[in-house]
């Protein structure tokens, strides 16, 4: 498995810890069971002894395992699973999610800036109010969002737009929305995003881009959201 580790810039001990953590989470090793010995892990993953020890120490600090002198390393708990954000498929459903689960909003930056728009996405507004912030739940940051809002819309409720999530406010004003689009891309966290979300660099993330367009084809809102991978759940109904 060493070639797989070499394709990532994440430290190898952290990558190994991810593999072991995943096995514990899936029940490969149940609570109270003993992990393979350090020698067995060295042989399986073709990694140095110090790397394997660092991975086990990391899991021990997380409370998942307990190394015991002369006996081995035992599983003490399964990883806690954060409550996920379900990716909704309508604006109204998305608004209801935020109405019932209001996140903590931490502002990173606020200014005037225009979003990048493809020709088929709509006509740019004359000016955009820009804000970048972190959303958290139970003191755990789960996304970083860049918000581009038509300044004319922003000035209708600046206090609410600064203190609340955007979609519910748009629907409450109300702002006429002729069409909306959402795209999702699976990627990895860069240094900046990793720092804001408290995850290792190269951790999996979901990049979500949302666009709301008015009846005159003006792009009213662009939201570029980076979610932690462990906070996103996709559910789709399949037609029989």
The answer to the question of residue 121 being in a domain is yes
Write down the pLDDT at residue 168: 93
Give the C-alpha separation, 42 to 51, whole Å. Answer: 9
- Give the model's pLDDT for residue 66: 95
C-alpha 171/C-alpha 165 separation (Å) is 11
Tell me what the pLDDT averaged over the chain comes to: 88
Mean pLDDT of 117-135: 95
Contact 112, 129 (CB under 8 A): yes
The answer to whether residue 17 sits within a structural domain is yes
Residue 240 counted as domain residue: no
Residue 120: how many CA atoms within 13 Å on its side-chain side? 1
User: What is the CATH classification number for the domain harbouring 102?
Assistant: 3.40.1410.10
Q: What is the CATH number of the domain that holds 34?
A: 1.10.10.10
Confidence of residue 3 (pLDDT cuts 50, 70, 90): very low
Domains: count for the chain: 2
- Both 161 and 90 in a single domain? yes
41 and 143, same structural domain?
no
- pLDDT tens digits, one per residue of 151-200: 999 999 999 999 999 999 999 999 999 999 988 898 888 888 888 998 87
User: How would DSSP label each residue in 117-165?
Assistant: --GGG-BPPS-EEEEEEEEEETTEEEEEEEEEEEHHHHTTSHHHHHHS-
Same domain, 38 and 141: no
**What is the structure's pLDDT at 111?**
95
What is the pLDDT, as a whole number, of residue 25? Answer: 82
Mind listing the pLDDT tens digit for each residue in 61-109?
989 999 999 899 999 998 876 555 555 568 888 888 778 778 899 999 9
Q: How far apart are CA 218 and CA 212, in angstroms?
A: 9
> Which of 75, 109, 127 is the endpoint of a domain?
75
Domain hosting residue 184, numbered range:
85-233
pLDDT of 145 over the 90 cut = yes
| Whether residue 93 is found in the same domain as residue 157 | yes
DSSP state of 231: G
pTM of full prediction above 0.85: no
Statement to judge: residues 105 and 218 lie in one domain: yes
* High-pLDDT (> 90) share of the chain, %: 57
Give the range among 3-7, 27-31, 196-200 with minimum mean pLDDT.
3-7
* Average confidence (pLDDT) over 33-47: 93
């Amino acid at each position: 498995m060493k070639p797989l580790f070499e394709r990532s810039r994440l430290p190898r001990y952290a990558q190994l810890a991810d593999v072991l953590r995943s096995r514990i989470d899936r029940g490969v090793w149940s609570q109270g069971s003993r992990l393979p010995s350090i020698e067995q892990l060295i042989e399986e993953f073709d990694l140095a002894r110090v790397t394997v020890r660092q991975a086990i120490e990391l899991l021990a600090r997380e409370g998942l395992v307990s190394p015991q002198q002369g006996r081995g390393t035992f599983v003490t708990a399964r990883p806690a699973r954060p409550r996920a954000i379900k990716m909704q498929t309508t604006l109204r459903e998305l608004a209801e999610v935020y109405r019932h689960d209001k996140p903590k909003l931490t502002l990173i930056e606020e200014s005037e800036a225009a979003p990048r728009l493809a020709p088929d996405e709509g006509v740019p507004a004359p000016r955009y109010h820009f804000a970048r912030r972190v959303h958290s739940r139970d003191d755990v940051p789960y996304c970083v969002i860049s918000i581009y809002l038509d300044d004319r819309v922003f000035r209708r409720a600046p206090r609410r737009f600064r203190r609340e999530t955007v979609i519910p406010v748009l629907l409450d004003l109300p702002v006429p929305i002729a069409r909306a689009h959402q795209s999702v891309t699976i990627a990895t966290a860069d240094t900046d995003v990793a720092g804001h979300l408290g995850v290792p660099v190269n951790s999996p993330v979901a990049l979500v881009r949302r666009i709301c367009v008015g009846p005159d084809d003006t792009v009213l809102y662009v939201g570029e959201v980076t979610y932690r991978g462990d906070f996103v759940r996709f559910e789709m109904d399949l037609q029989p």
